[in-house]
Amino acid sequence: MASNLIPEIGEFGLIGKIAKIAGPTLEAVPKLIEGIGDDCAVYRLSEELLQVSTTDILVDQVHFDLLTTPVKHLGSKAMSVNVSDICAMNAIPRYALVSLAIPPSFPVEMIEELYRGMANAAAEYGVAIAGGDTSSSRSGLVISVAVTGEVTEERIAYRRGASPGDLVCVTGMLGGAAAGLRLLMREKDIMLEHLENRETYDRNLMADLEEYRNAIRSQLLPLARLDIVKFFHSAGIRPTSMIDISDGLSSELQHICRSSNTGALIYENSIPIGPETRLTAEEFQDDALTWALTGGEDYELLFTVPKDSLQDISAHRDISVIGEITPPEEGIFIRDIYGMKIDLAAISGFDHFRS
Amino acid sequence: MASNLIPEIGEFGLIGKIAKIAGPTLEAVPKLIEGIGDDCAVYRLSEELLQVSTTDILVDQVHFDLLTTPVKHLGSKAMSVNVSDICAMNAIPRYALVSLAIPPSFPVEMIEELYRGMANAAAEYGVAIAGGDTSSSRSGLVISVAVTGEVTEERIAYRRGASPGDLVCVTGMLGGAAAGLRLLMREKDIMLEHLENRETYDRNLMADLEEYRNAIRSQLLPLARLDIVKFFHSAGIRPTSMIDISDGLSSELQHICRSSNTGALIYENSIPIGPETRLTAEEFQDDALTWALTGGEDYELLFTVPKDSLQDISAHRDISVIGEITPPEEGIFIRDIYGMKIDLAAISGFDHFRS
């Protein structure tokens, strides 16, 4: 039997194989109406009410670097990335379980700071930290959070409901988290250089980063868009499909199109990219659009609505319409500012196993 | 500010500090009726029905050693230890979320085997594997599983309900998992010695382990006692308190007594220890009783019932009555076979951060 390594089949190849093995276990639990494949699992609580659940694992040196990440921000981010998955189902988060594997060399205060960040974020979202598990780790810090939320059956949004003609929308600004990551990596290099030359690293130099505040904030302290979910509920808007942008716009749009069996056409000049992100990209001689399409970690929402919802959607200043769902045979494209159509399949997102 | 390392305050010291920070987040969610402190968090689904949730994290070189653990068994164990926490609430498990951090050097087949073990166990318990997350790991394998179950309000068992006069009971045999661990560690040493001397290690030698089959099985492939929960439900028995034995009988009994504000007196000659475990202890010139009291990982249930339930309980051949709950001022003691009373507080359980 040929033995493949995981990087060869990639994260989504692995998920496919896992889903095949785990799938049959769903038959025993009819109330579990959605298993692996969307942002959350879905469990029926009653005729109207559904429970949605998700889990995300954050690993030292893969998802974060403690040299550039205040541990309190890390705690907040661990909560936010999970709540973001709950939001992607158009649901309200309720409670969280937290598992930590901690190197024994960590001071207790550091774990308290981590939890303070988590508790602050939880309070912000109205989530209860209900329990968890702690263990020592023989290597780096690992944080695994699971969050459970609720939504009525008539409000829930899956990835698979988009139809040709629907508007493609995103919240907030994209590419900011990628810009923030570049800035932090550069700062880390400077810090390490200082250490190597046995010079002191002046933390006040960080003040120079003030002008990049928003970008660094979107990388270190992303906020789940629960405000948008609440706007949907109060305005009576139900997205026909929704996903959160954790791996970059391109990859997430492809998830929606594949699940919905549609194509899509989006427009470069409609993609919301902040001036700070453009400036940073210029400085790094990189491309802000590529960051928006593939950078990931923005934790904004990508969703579709019927065309006649345009007015309702436009009422919110933080939502941009970036294109339209098309029939599947038309493929998934972006039209750039020169009018060229570029196949988004050629522009893929972040893969933890391949990076 | 003095900076403590985690091993100095221990696992329970850390949990206390965490509970203090996470506690206030519960206020926002009145339906979350039990947070950190029992085997599961408890969330109210309706007037009668409660949801219980738990999570456990298993870390390479802390909880398992891939040299002596078939990865399929590891998958099964990761599911069972969580289901065991659900059982400790007298609840029925429903669905699981699985997070993995995987070294990129792992063959895909190994993760499939891990999932096969998990799916087998899930099918055994009637649990649906509903979703999860996968990430690469820069070091060892980390498995975090969260399981959710259900129980009616009139059936749920907490740690805190024991009263003086109640009978103290355990299921199955204790100390078997500790015996299995010793045997596997010895086998590993033999294996490594062979490798060092560049001799081939004959896997068939493992056949010699056949006589220790049960002990090794309880270490590698523990089963959550869902059968006991179903017996309780069908026989109309509600334990006044319950906990699963993950850290050893001594530590778990102290948890029940501390939560219930009681003492307890148990009897050495009533503690169920299998002949194989005694034989193994003799071979290792160790003490089988100590393994039962502090070895941990047996995943049997420790519970209390009112004295008048004795007849109902006795109907089950796999339940042993080992003692009695006493008033708090009488302390927590074990009476040994010579009639001596020994303070159990002096005999503590397994602490992941101190071992």
CATH code, domain with A65: 3.30.1330.10
**Cβ proximity of B319 and B157 under 8 Å:** no
Q: Which of B60, B97, B352 sits opposite A55 (nearest CB)?
A: B97
- Which domain CATH number covers A234? 3.90.650.10
pLDDT category at A215 given cuts 50, 70, 90 is confident
Q: Are residues B147 and B171 in the same domain?
A: no
A115 contacts in chain B (CB < 8 Å): 17-18, 21-22
Q: Is residue B198 part of a domain?
A: no
Q: How many structural domains compose chain A?
A: 2
Q: Are residues B176 and B136 in the same domain?
A: no
Average pLDDT over residues A199-216: 69
Q: Which of B21, B94, B136 sits opposite A116 (nearest CB)?
A: B21
Residues B345, B347, B348, B354, CA torsion sign:
positive
Q: Are residues A34 and A171 in the same domain?
A: no
How many whole angstroms separate alpha carbon B96 and alpha carbon B86? 11
Cβ contact B100–A57 (<8 Å): yes
Q: What is the average pLDDT score of chain B? A: 91
Residue found by looking up tokens 């309200």 in the block: A92
How many whole angstroms separate alpha carbon B98 and alpha carbon B6? 26
A353 contacts in chain B (CB < 8 Å): 102, 104, 136
* C-alpha dist (Å) from residue A29 to A111, B92, B125, B247: 37, 12, 11, 31
Highest mean pLDDT among A45-59, B5-19, B183-197, B340-354: A45-59
Q: Is residue A354 part of a domain?
A: no
Cβ contact A101–B131 (<8 Å): no
Q: Is residue B124 part of a domain?
A: yes
**Cβ proximity of A222 and A296 under 8 Å:** no
Residue of A57, A120, A226 best to disrupt the B interface, most CBs of B under 10 A: A57
Q: Which of B1, B14, B138 sits opposite A111 (nearest CB)?
A: B14
**Cβ proximity of B244 and B89 under 8 Å:** no
A263 or A355: which leads in pLDDT: A263
B81 contacts in chain A (CB < 8 Å): none
Distance between B49 CA and the closest CA of chain A, angstroms: 10
pLDDT category at B305 given cuts 50, 70, 90 is very high
Q: Which two tokens stand for residue A345?
A: 């399949």
B35 contacts in chain A (CB < 8 Å): 128-131
- pLDDT attached to residue B189: 86
Distance between B193 CA and the closest CA of chain A, angstroms: 24
pLDDT per residue as tens digits for the range A267-325: 999 999 999 999 999 999 999 999 999 988 899 999 999 999 999 998 899 999 999 99
pLDDT at B281 over 50: yes
B212 or A66: which leads in pLDDT: A66
Q: Are residues B100 and B164 in the same domain?
A: no
Helix, strand, coil proportions of chain A in percent (round to 5)? 45, 25, 30
Which residue in chain A has the smallest CA separation from B38? A131
Q: Are residues A173 and A103 in the same domain?
A: no
Residue of A17, A109, A139 best to disrupt the B interface, most CBs of B under 10 A: A139
pLDDT at A197 over 90: no
- pLDDT attached to residue B186: 87
Judged by DSSP in three states, B134 sits in strand
A89 contacts in chain B (CB < 8 Å): none
Q: Is residue B324 part of a domain?
A: yes
Q: Which of A18, A111, A119 sits opposite B25 (nearest CB)?
A: A119
Q: Are residues A240 and A325 in the same domain?
A: yes
Q: What is the average pLDDT score of chain A? A: 91
Cβ contact B25–A55 (<8 Å): no
pLDDT category at A169 given cuts 50, 70, 90 is very high
B97 contacts in chain A (CB < 8 Å): 41, 53-55, 146
Please tell me what DSSP assigns to residue A33.
Answer: E
**Residue B32 C-alpha from the chain's centroid:** 24
Residue B94 exposure: Cα atoms within 13 Å on the Cβ side: 21
Average pLDDT over residues B261-270: 97
pLDDT at A25 over 60: yes
Distance between B278 CA and the closest CA of chain A, angstroms: 30
Residue of B111, B113, B134 best to disrupt the A interface, most CBs of A under 10 A: B134
Q: Which of A6, A26, A128 sits opposite B28 (nearest CB)?
A: A128
Distance between A49 CA and the closest CA of chain B, angstroms: 10
- pLDDT attached to residue B1: 47
- pLDDT attached to residue A138: 86
Q: Are residues A95 and A168 in the same domain?
A: no
pLDDT at B353 over 90: no
Q: Are residues A269 and A299 in the same domain?
A: yes
The fraction of chain B above a pLDDT of 70, given in percent, is: 94
Average pLDDT over residues B33-40: 90
Which residue in chain A has the smallest CA separation from B107? A5
Cβ contact B146–A142 (<8 Å): no
pLDDT per residue as tens digits for the range B177-204: 998 888 888 888 888 887 788 777 666 5
Q: Give the alpha-carbon dihedral of B286, B289, B294, B299, to 10 degrees.
A: 120
Judged by DSSP in three states, B167 sits in strand
Could you tell me which of A168, A172, A194 has the C-alpha nearest to residue A318?
Answer: A172
Tally Cβ neighbours within 10 Å of residue B337: 9
Q: Which of A1, A18, A118 sits opposite B115 (nearest CB)?
A: A18
Intra-chain end-to-end CA distance of chain A, in Å:
27
Q: Give the alpha-carbon dihedral of A297, A161, A333, A339, to 10 degrees.
A: -100
- pLDDT attached to residue B201: 66
A31 contacts in chain B (CB < 8 Å): 94
Range of the domain at A245: 159-181+218-346
Residue of B12, B14, B18 best to disrupt the A interface, most CBs of A under 10 A: B18
Q: Are residues A281 and A168 in the same domain?
A: yes
Q: Is residue A111 part of a domain?
A: yes
Q: Is residue B210 part of a domain?
A: no
pLDDT at A1 over 70: no
A105 contacts in chain B (CB < 8 Å): 5
Cβ contact B55–A352 (<8 Å): no
Q: Which of A104, A129, A353 sits opposite B6 (nearest CB)?
A: A104
- pLDDT attached to residue A157: 97
Residue of A136, A138, A150, A297 best to disrupt the B interface, most CBs of B under 10 A: A136
Distance between A85 CA and the closest CA of chain B, angstroms: 12
pLDDT at A240 over 50: yes
Classify the complex by whether its ipTM is higher than 0.95, answering yes or no. no
B296 sits in the region (left: phi over 0; alpha: psi -120 to 50; else beta) called left
- pLDDT attached to residue A37: 84
CB pairs under 8 A between A and B: 301
Q: Which of A112, A128, A142 sits opposite B142 (nearest CB)?
A: A142
* C-alpha dist (Å) from residue B305 to A164, B7, B158, B254: 62, 36, 12, 16
- pLDDT attached to residue B205: 56
Which residue in chain A has the smallest CA separation from B12? A134
Which residue in chain A has the smallest CA separation from B121? A25
pLDDT category at A23 given cuts 50, 70, 90 is very high
Q: Are residues B145 and B281 in the same domain?
A: no
Q: Are residues B104 and B132 in the same domain?
A: yes
- pLDDT attached to residue A121: 97
A18 contacts in chain B (CB < 8 Å): 111-112, 115, 132, 134
Q: Which of B24, B60, B146 sits opposite A146 (nearest CB)?
A: B146
Q: Give the alpha-carbon dihedral of A288, A292, A294, A298, to 10 degrees.
A: 130
How many whole angstroms separate alpha carbon B172 and alpha carbon A72? 44
How many whole angstroms separate alpha carbon B104 and alpha carbon B136? 6
Which residue in chain A has the smallest CA separation from B150? A45
Cβ contact A148–B43 (<8 Å): yes
Highest mean pLDDT among A7-11, B298-302, B346-350: B298-302
Q: Per residue, what are the HEC states of A194-229?
A: HHHCCCCCCHHHHHHHHHHHHHHHHHHCCCCCHHHH
Q: Are residues B51 and B26 in the same domain?
A: yes
Could you tell me which of A38, A133, A124 has the C-alpha nearest to residue A79?
Answer: A124
How many whole angstroms separate alpha carbon B175 and alpha carbon A209? 58
Choose the weakest-confidence range: A156-170, A205-219, B331-345: A205-219
pLDDT category at A187 given cuts 50, 70, 90 is confident
Distance between A344 CA and the closest CA of chain B, angstroms: 24
Cβ contact B3–A119 (<8 Å): no
pLDDT at B345 over 90: no
Which residue in chain A has the smallest CA separation from B19? A131
Residue of A15, A65, A108 best to disrupt the B interface, most CBs of B under 10 A: A108
Q: Is residue A2 part of a domain?
A: no
A38 or A172: which leads in pLDDT: A172
B59 contacts in chain A (CB < 8 Å): 101, 135-138, 142
How many whole angstroms separate alpha carbon B349 and alpha carbon B62? 16
Average pLDDT over residues A235-242: 97
pLDDT per residue as tens digits for the range B98-114: 999 999 889 999 999 99
Q: Which two tokens stand for residue B118?
A: 């998990």
pLDDT per residue as tens digits for the range B114-161: 999 999 999 999 999 999 999 999 889 999 999 999 999 999 999 999
Q: Is residue A107 part of a domain?
A: yes
